[in-house]
């Protein structure tokens, strides 16, 4: 406990550290948990840190992190999207269907982005202009997209995808492309959120919509914009998801929306809107991927997997709450 | 925020429900029969029970995503207490319901003691409670319950499925508490403006604890009824149930931002959902088509409500 | 007071955990196992009297048009698409059957029961089902029987008295023997292996794994069971889990069993992308189309499965025979169109045949 009187006498580095902590607290907590987890598991089984396993953890789950970036923006703006899993399922199926029908590869990669943006523009209009709460719109979209996908494909797998289509299997300097996408998109989105006018607008809307309106921000338009950006990221996630394996399942990946939302909130996005960063959500997505892998490496009975995940989410959130209380 | 605006959404729902009933009854003569309607009542009882406390939860501006997992945990523990630990079944039933209550209380404590937002707290316990159910059961089922136990889920009392009596009784109780008591007014006050409620001297924390604990308790009760209906326990019971429950409540006009909503609306939303599921199936619409229709109706109902109340504050 | 209550929850949960905690788990169930003889001699099957249930007051519909609903575990996956196709084929052949497939979008007993209940109300003549849980589905099936509806199961059974007949794709111990023998042949008698399954609550998978463990202990005692991981019915998760197993065990891992038609191709993909073709054998249940690329590359040598189209086809024929009164309790065989005579086993089950092993030589003859 630092007494208030002591604060002014803090040396500059400590003060800077305190500021960094305050600004990036949750990211640091999640980062610390990742470091501890990797260290502990590596002590039990050093193969955990082998380059192949790190590739599996990072590359195999990059699409979750990418989707979580868009979700983070949506949540910062004070909204939510529970249909993102179904959307990714639909977009991945569209991409694969175009590919097996011989369309140019670039169109197969871009179509999911365009369709994702279009669908979410519609969602955004319903939320912003028609003023239906986002959880209601996206609950409805969840049913519509999932039911529509099953009606359209009847679950037939998409086989015989052209080799050029496999974006996620492409490697540069031995590192699979999803990792580049994850890192690049996270950094770009983080910089953009911090420095662009629109980024600050999103924070303003989530933090206090009335104040934002008074300040002359066109809230409706911005919210549609946020959902469209989210659709763009969902499109990229869908392409990474679709091009990972030789087949596409044409179903909705089970519980994907929960994983994505959890990554965003554990990464420090306040569900009340207004705060949070995409770096945190990417770190949290990595954390979940690492937990799944770590449980196999430490021989924890897989029956307890979800219990351990739940405990870790809780621990991360409680640690963050405790930190905020200390800083206050 | 007057009584009139409260009633509006329910009126729309009622009209929608009547339209749905008329259309669906014309599609199949098997639909509008006592047999089918009672049967649908049996099938919707668990979601209905969970939707009652969920209405309170959402009226406070909160959400409880963990009800499906508490449901699974209580179901598994019923089996474990009875079969694994040899506790007499009636005692095991009570214990299973209580475990649900304690799990719900756990949610409440995480929110009130540590100021964790409800969505995050119950997202964590969604994974935690389901994980406990899986870990404890080791994915093994418990079967072979005695015949008398099935009265709860498969039997009838005075011509009505047993669980419907629970649903009716608790729905009336919930409507009375939410509509007529100080507790109900506190619930609305928290949802409308939590800070103001606290400064007006209302015990916000205690109210929330009671609501979330009750939510867990009812999830435990619904689980016992469900186990009796299907005569076995599995750790994956109730997966995804929370979305059905929330859909019913929101369809019923409860504002997800809190401060608005009624039990009557919730019941109407629930019935509308079940009527569509049954009626569309009988009319030959497949399951995947049905969920599309439910999604569209959910959006349309809220849309209509917003357009008619014009002040679209949702 | 809260502390006491949370403590009480902890104690209750803890004691429950201890009560149910068993010896090292494998992902199998706890039912008794019946491993086959190692040399492949068929065990003498004891004759079991008919133990199915019969519909009460079923109208005589012999030769007349009947409506049939098929409620699989879930719709929208390749496997049940194939069974559904078989059912439609048989219905078209029979001519007097109006068959429709409808079911939940996730493998969940709650929803499956609702679908069955609605079918009963709509007044069908026959129900085909693949159960998500053998006991949970029983009450609603018994209700169907009590309303004079004929009930036949396939793929995943219910308790016997809740249906008239069950079309068994291949016996559990037969699948287990085929899987373990193939693994021993490809990876060696002293190989260490791991399993990728769907979820631990899926009855068929749990049964196969239990039978595999028993058969392996009896006939290939030197093989080493490393672990079983859960991967839902999800392609990407299966791939990640299989990759993690490869990363964890390195050269120690000689074989992966895929227990579902999703897990097996994903495991093969993990082995391929990990550059371990030829070092790690993949043996599993899968449909031929999904496995062709890996079999062509010699990465996978044996794929075990029955033909799901035939399974649905046989189920439809069995139902028609039951409706027509051609298949009565005590019968020893039933005619199933192009499949010929199928044998009745275990009292009220109809055996589709021996599990089939697809290899490089024959896999291109199949398209499903």
Per-residue pLDDT tens digits for A133-174: 888 888 888 888 988 888 888 777 887 888 888 888 888 888
Q: Do A60 and C273 touch (CB under 8 A)?
A: no
Q: For A297, which residue in chain C has the nearest alpha carbon?
A: C248
B189 touches B200 (CB < 8 A): yes
Q: Neighbouring chains of A at 3+ CB pairs within 8 Å? A: B, C
Measured between beta carbons, the chain B residues lying within 8 angstroms of C113 are 43, 230
Say whether pLDDT at C118 is over 90: no
Give contacts of C 214-243 with A, CB under 8 A.
227-230, 232-237, 239-241, 243
Q: Which of B158-167, C75-84, C147-156 has the lowest mean pLDDT?
A: C75-84
Q: What is the mean pLDDT of chain C?
A: 83
Structure tokens at C253: 């891992």
Reduced to 3 states (helix: H, G, I; strand: E, B; else coil), residue C281 is strand
Q: For A289, which residue in chain C has the nearest alpha carbon?
A: C240
Confidence band (pLDDT; 50, 70, 90) for A302?
low
pLDDT digits (tens, 9 = 90+) for C272-306: 988 888 899 999 888 888 888 888 888 888 888 88
DSSP A17-77: HHHHHHHHHHHHHHHHHHHHHHHHHHHH-GGGGSHHHHHHHHHHTHHHHHHHHHHHHHHHT
Measured between beta carbons, the chain A residues lying within 8 angstroms of B292 are 143-144, 147-148, 151
- B45 to chain A, any CB pair closer than 8 A? The answer is no
Measured between beta carbons, the chain C residues lying within 8 angstroms of B228 are none
pTM: predicted TM-score of the whole model, two decimal places:
0.84
- B121 to chain A, any CB pair closer than 8 A? The answer is yes
Q: What is the CATH number of domain C66-169+308-353?
A: 3.40.50.2300
Q: How far is B235 from chain C (nearest CA, A)?
A: 7
Q: Do B135 and C106 touch (CB under 8 A)?
A: no
How many CB atoms are located within 10 Å of the residue C217 CB? 14
Measured between beta carbons, the chain B residues lying within 8 angstroms of A151 are 286, 288-289, 292
Portion of chain C with pLDDT greater than 70, in percent: 89
Q: Do B235 and C105 touch (CB under 8 A)?
A: no
Q: Do A292 and C266 touch (CB under 8 A)?
A: no
The top-scoring range by mean pLDDT among A18-22, A315-319, C60-64, C240-244 is C240-244
The residue-averaged pLDDT of C92-104 equals 87
Q: What is the mean pLDDT of chain B?
A: 87
Tell me what pLDDT residue A159 has.
79
Q: For C136, which residue in chain B has the nearest alpha carbon?
A: B230
Q: Which residue among C230, C235, C243 sits closest to A56, beta carbon to beta carbon?
A: C243
Measured between beta carbons, the chain A residues lying within 8 angstroms of B256 are 133, 135-136
Q: Do B288 and A147 touch (CB under 8 A)?
A: yes
Return d(Cα B230, Cα B43) in angstroms, integer.
11
Q: What is the dihedral of CA B93, B98, B99, B102, to 10 degrees?
A: 170
Tell me what pLDDT residue C22 has.
41
Q: What is the mean pLDDT of chain A?
A: 82
Return d(Cα A140, Cα A154) in angstroms, integer.
21
Q: For A135, which residue in chain B has the nearest alpha carbon?
A: B256
Tell me what pLDDT residue A23 has.
55
- B308 to chain A, any CB pair closer than 8 A? The answer is no
Residue C60: CB partners within 8 Å, gap ≥ 6? C325
Q: Which of A192-206, A307-321, B45-59, B162-176 has the lowest mean pLDDT?
A: A307-321
Q: Do A156 and C75 touch (CB under 8 A)?
A: no
Q: What is the CATH number of domain C172-305?
A: 3.40.50.2300
Tell me what pLDDT residue A230 has.
94
Measured between beta carbons, the chain A residues lying within 8 angstroms of B298 are 136, 139-140, 143
- B145 to chain C, any CB pair closer than 8 A? The answer is no
Measured between beta carbons, the chain B residues lying within 8 angstroms of A126 are 299, 303
Say whether pLDDT at A224 is over 60: yes
Q: How far is B103 from chain A (nearest CA, A)?
A: 14
The residue-averaged pLDDT of A318-323 equals 72
Q: Do C17 and B154 touch (CB under 8 A)?
A: no
Q: Neighbouring chains of C at 3+ CB pairs within 8 Å? A: A, B
Tell me what pLDDT residue A20 has.
53
Tell me what pLDDT residue B3 has.
54
Measured between beta carbons, the chain A residues lying within 8 angstroms of C83 are none
Structure tokens at C53: 């249930």
The residue-averaged pLDDT of C141-157 equals 92
Return d(Cα A63, Cα B122) in angstroms, integer.
25
Reduced to 3 states (helix: H, G, I; strand: E, B; else coil), residue B258 is coil
What is the DSSP pairing of strand C356-358 with strand C192-197?
unpaired
Q: How many CB pairs under 8 A join A and B?
A: 145
Cα(first)–Cα(last) distance of chain A, in Å?
11
Return d(Cα B111, Cα B85) in angstroms, integer.
33
The top-scoring range by mean pLDDT among A11-15, B72-76, B126-130 is B72-76
Least Cα distance to A227 among A71, A10, A83 occurs for A71
B189 touches B38 (CB < 8 A): no
Given 3-state DSSP classes, what are the helix, strand and coil percentages for chain C, each rounded to the nearest 5? 40, 20, 40
Q: Neighbouring chains of B at 3+ CB pairs within 8 Å? A: A, C
Tell me what pLDDT residue B12 has.
81
Measured between beta carbons, the chain C residues lying within 8 angstroms of A147 are 105
**Fold identical between C66-169+308-353 and C172-305?**
yes
Least Cα distance to B162 among B171, B149, B146 occurs for B149
Q: Do B110 and A305 touch (CB under 8 A)?
A: no
**CATH class in words for B3-21+30-308:** mainly alpha
pLDDT digits (tens, 9 = 90+) for A60-102: 889 999 999 999 999 888 888 889 999 999 999 999 899 888 8
**Domain ranges for chain C:** 66-169+308-353, 172-305
Q: Which residue among A139, A148, A311 sits closest to B128, beta carbon to beta carbon?
A: A311
Measured between beta carbons, the chain B residues lying within 8 angstroms of C2 are 105, 109
For tokens 């007044």, name the residue. C123
Tell me what pLDDT residue C242 has.
92
DSSP C96-108: SEEEEE---SSS-
- B278 to chain C, any CB pair closer than 8 A? The answer is yes
CA atoms within 13 A on the CB side of A87: 36
Q: Which residue among A133, A141, A258 sits closest to B314, beta carbon to beta carbon?
A: A133
Q: How far is A221 from chain C (nearest CA, A)?
A: 36
Q: Do C102 and B286 touch (CB under 8 A)?
A: yes
Tell me what pLDDT residue C141 has.
93
The top-scoring range by mean pLDDT among A37-51, B99-113, B250-264, C64-78 is B99-113
Measured between beta carbons, the chain A residues lying within 8 angstroms of B303 are 126, 130, 132
Tell me what pLDDT residue C20 has.
46
Say whether pLDDT at A10 is over 60: no
Q: Do A169 and C78 touch (CB under 8 A)?
A: no
Q: Do C274 and A52 touch (CB under 8 A)?
A: yes
Say whether pLDDT at C360 is over 50: yes
Q: Do A296 and C240 touch (CB under 8 A)?
A: no
Q: How far is C250 from chain A (nearest CA, A)?
A: 8
Counted residue by residue, chain C has a size of 368
Measured between beta carbons, the chain C residues lying within 8 angstroms of B136 are 13, 16-17, 20
Say whether pLDDT at B281 is over 90: no
């Amino acid at each position: 406990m630092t007494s208030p009187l002591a604060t002014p006498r803090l040396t500059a580095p400590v003060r800077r550290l305190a500021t960094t902590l305050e600004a990036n607290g949750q990211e640091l907590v999640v980062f610390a948990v990742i470091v501890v987890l990797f260290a502990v598991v590596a002590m039990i089984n050093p193969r955990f840190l082998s380059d192949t396993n790190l590739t599996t953890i990072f590359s195999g789950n990059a699409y979750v992190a990418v989707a979580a970036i868009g979700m983070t923006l949506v949540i910062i703006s004070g909204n939510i999207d529970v249909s993102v899993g179904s959307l990714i399922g639909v977009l991945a199926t569209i991409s694969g269907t175009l590919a097996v029908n011989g369309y140019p590869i670039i169109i197969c990669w871009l179509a999911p982005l365009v369709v994702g943006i279009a669908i979410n523009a519609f969602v955004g209009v319903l939320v912003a202009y028609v003023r239906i709460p986002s959880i209601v719109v996206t609950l409805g979209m969840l049913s519509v997209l999932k039911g529509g996908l099953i009606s359209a494909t009847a679950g037939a797998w998409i086989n015989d995808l052209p080799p050029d289509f496999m974006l996620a299997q492409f490697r540069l300097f031995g590192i699979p492309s999803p990792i580049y996408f994850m890192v690049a998109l996270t950094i770009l989105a983080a910089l953009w959120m911090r420095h662009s006018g629109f980024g600050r607008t999103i924070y303003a809307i989530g933090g206090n919509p009335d104040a934002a309106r008074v300040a002359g921000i066109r809230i409706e338009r911005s919210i549609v914009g946020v959902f469209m950006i989210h659709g763009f990221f969902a499109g990229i996630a869908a392409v990474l998801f679709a091009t990972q394996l030789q087949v596409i399942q044409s179903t909705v990946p089970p519980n994907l929306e929960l994983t994505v939302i959890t990554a965003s909130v554990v990464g420090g996005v306040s569900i009340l809107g207004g705060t949070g960063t995409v770096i945190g959500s990417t770190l949290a997505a990595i954390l979940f991927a690492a937990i799944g892998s770590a449980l196999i490496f430490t021989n924890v009975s897989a029956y307890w997997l979800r219990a351990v995940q739940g405990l870790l989410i809780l621990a991360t959130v409680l640690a963050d709450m405790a930190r905020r209380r200390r800083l206050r | 925020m007057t009584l009139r605006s409260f009633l509006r959404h329910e009126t729309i729902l009622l009209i929608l429900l009547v339209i749905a009933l008329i259309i669906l009854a014309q599609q199949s003569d098997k639909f509008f029969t006592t047999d089918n309607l009672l049967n649908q009542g049996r099938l919707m009882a668990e979601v209905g029970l969970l939707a009652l406390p969920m209405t309170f939860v959402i009226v406070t501006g909160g959400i409880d995503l963990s009800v499906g997992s508490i449901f699974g945990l209580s179901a598994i523990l019923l089996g474990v207490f009875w079969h694994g630990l040899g506790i007499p079944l009636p005692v095991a039933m009570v214990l299973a319901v209580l475990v649900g209550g304690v799990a719900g209380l756990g949610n409440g404590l995480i929110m009130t003691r540590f100021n964790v937002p409800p969505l995050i707290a119950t997202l964590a316990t969604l994974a935690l409670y389901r994980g406990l159910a899986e870990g404890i059961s080791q994915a093994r089922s418990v079967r072979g319950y005695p015949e008398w136990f099935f009265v709860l889920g498969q039997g009838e009392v005075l011509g009505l499925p047993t669980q419907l009596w629970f649903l009716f009784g608790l729905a009336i109780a919930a409507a009375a508490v939410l509509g007529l008591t100080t507790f109900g007014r506190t619930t609305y006050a928290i949802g409308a403006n939590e800070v103001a409620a606290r400064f007006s001297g209302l015990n916000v924390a205690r109210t929330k604890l009671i609501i979330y604990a009750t939510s867990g308790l009812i999830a435990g009760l619904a689980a016992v009824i469900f186990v009796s209906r299907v005569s076995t326990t599995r750790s994956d019971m109730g997966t995804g149930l929370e979305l059905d429950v929330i859909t019913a409540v929101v369809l019923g006009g409860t504002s997800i931002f809190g401060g608005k909503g009624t039990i009557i609306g919730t019941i109407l939303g629930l019935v509308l959902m079940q009527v569509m599921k049954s009626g569309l199936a009988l009319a030959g619409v497949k399951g995947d088509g049905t969920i599309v229709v439910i999604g569209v109706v959910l959006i349309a109902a809220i849309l209509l409500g917003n357009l008619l109340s014009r002040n679209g504050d949702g | 007071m809260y502390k006491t209550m949370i403590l009480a929850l902890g104690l209750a949960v803890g004691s429950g955990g201890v009560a149910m905690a068993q010896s090292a788990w494998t992902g199998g169930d706890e039912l008794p196992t019946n491993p086959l003889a190692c040399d492949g001699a068929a065990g003498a099957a004891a004759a079991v009297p008919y133990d199915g249930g019969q519909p009460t007051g079923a109208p005589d519909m012999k030769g007349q048009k009947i409506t049939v609903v098929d409620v699989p575990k879930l719709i929208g996956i390749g496997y049940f698409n194939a069974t559904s196709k078989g059912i439609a084929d048989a219905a078209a052949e029979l001519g007097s059957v109006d068959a429709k497939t409808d079911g939940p979008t996730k493998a969940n007993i709650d929803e499956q029961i609702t679908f069955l209940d609605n079918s009963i109300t709509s007044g069908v003549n026959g129900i085909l089902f693949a159960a998500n849980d053998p006991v949970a589905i029983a009450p609603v099936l018994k209700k169907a029987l009590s309303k004079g509806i004929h009930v036949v199961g396939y793929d995943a059974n219910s308790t016997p008295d809740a249906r008239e007949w069950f079309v068994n794709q291949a016996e559990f111990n037969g699948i287990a023997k085929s899987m373990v023998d193939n693994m021993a042949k490809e990876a060696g008698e002293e190989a260490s292996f791991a399993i990728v399954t769907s979820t631990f609550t899926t009855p068929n998978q749990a049964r196969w794994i239990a039978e595999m463990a028993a058969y392996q202990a009896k006939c290939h005692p030197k093989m080493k069971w490393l672990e079983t991981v859960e991967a839902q019915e999800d392609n990407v998760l299966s791939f990640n889990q299989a990759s993690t197993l490869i990363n964890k065990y390195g050269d120690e891992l000689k074989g992966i069993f895929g227990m579902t038609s999703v897990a097996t191709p994903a495991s093969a993909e993990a082995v391929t992308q990990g550059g371990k073709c030829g070092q790690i054998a993949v043996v599993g249940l899968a449909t031929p189309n999904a496995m062709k690329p890996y079999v062509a590359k010699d990465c996978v040598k044996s794929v075990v499965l029955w033909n799901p189209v035939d399974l649905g086809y046989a189920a439809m024929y069995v139902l028609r025979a039951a409706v027509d009164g051609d298949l009565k309790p005590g019968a020893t065989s039933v005619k199933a169109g192009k499949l010929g005579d199928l044998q009745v086993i275990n009292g009220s089950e109809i055996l589709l045949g021996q599990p089939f092993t697809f290899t490089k030589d024959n896999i291109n003859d199949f398209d499903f």
